[in-house]
Amino acid sequence: MSVQTKPQTEPPALALTDVRSGYEQATVLRGVSLRVPPSSVVALLGANGAGKTTLLKTIAGFIEASDGKIAMEGVPLTGLKPHVRRRRGLCYIPEGRGIFRSLSVRENLALQAPSGNERRAVELAVEAFPALASRMSQLAGTLSGGEQQMLAMAQAYVVQPRVLLVDEASLGLAPKIVDAIFEFLVSVNQRGTAVLLVDQFVSRALQLASYAYVLRQGEIVHAGPAAEIDESDIVEQYLGDGTGQQG
């Protein structure tokens, strides 16, 4: 007689349970819980000041959670330093590029790459963003804004993370560069990386994501499949300015 076993469910790529954090005496996040399934894209929406960046920094370890649990693929991250979380496969691309402006493009890529894989890092970066090919010896700080963002985003190819946190990758960029960034996020996700995305363009984020959360004053006030979210209703209720961008 055969023995039937219950199918094992794969743990979320990223899971937050009742997370609270903030700055000194100011509490910003008030019991945030969310899930990012394996190989999925999840959008995190909210007006300016809602706590989105604080949430990403807390997940990445740059802000210590005062309460709650953070786990990646079922393994707790709470209490671990940012570089340890990164070694475990968590990649954070902050708002404002997140590059070393005084180093060359090649040196930036070498710092992002696992030891011994510097040459491969350059190949992967150029594969992702061909415009960087002729910029390898150039100081990162002298690149255009779009090229700087490409360099920052390229690390998601270089380190091949299991979970990618992206904070406002399209901010201040020309439409053509925004298109390239979103195409890049699609390719990263297709390689198996789960993505938690914060972006000013609500419609673009919802098109890319399978699920979405709305953050307001440090609390999750809405969650659901991205395809079922009424963008105009979300903008009117939670995001503020009615333009399709977060105010």
Q: Delimit the domains of the chain by residue range.
A: 11-89+161-247, 99-160
Tell me what pLDDT residue 238 has. 67
Token representation of residue 88:
């475990």
Tell me what pLDDT residue 115 has. 80
Tell me what pLDDT residue 244 has. 40
Tell me what pLDDT residue 127 has. 92
Place of tokens 């000013």: 200
3-state secondary structure 167-193: ECCCCCCCHHHHHHHHHHHHHHHHCCC
Output the CATH code of domain 11-89+161-247: 3.40.50.300
Whole-prediction pTM value? 0.89
Q: Which of 5, 16, 81 is nearest to 220 (CA)?
A: 16
DSSP sequence for 73-141: TTEE-TT--HHHHHHTTEEEE-SS----TTSBHHHHHHHHSPTT-HHHHHHHHHHH-GGGGGGTTSBGG
Tell me what pLDDT residue 8 has. 53
Torsion of CA 129, 13, 90, 226, to 10 degrees: 50
- Cα(98)–Cα(156) distance, rounded to whole angstroms? 12
The answer to whether 66 and 21 are in contact (CB under 8 A) is yes
Residue 208 carries which DSSP code? H
Tell me what pLDDT residue 3 has. 46
- pLDDT of the chain along its 247 residues, tens only? 444 544 557 899 999 999 999 998 899 999 999 999 999 999 999 998 999 999 999 999 999 999 999 999 999 998 899 999 999 999 999 987 789 999 999 999 998 887 888 889 899 999 999 999 999 999 999 999 999 999 999 988 888 899 999 999 998 899 999 999 999 999 999 999 999 999 989 999 999 999 999 999 999 999 999 998 877 777 777 665 433 444 3
- Cα(8)–Cα(101) distance, rounded to whole angstroms? 46
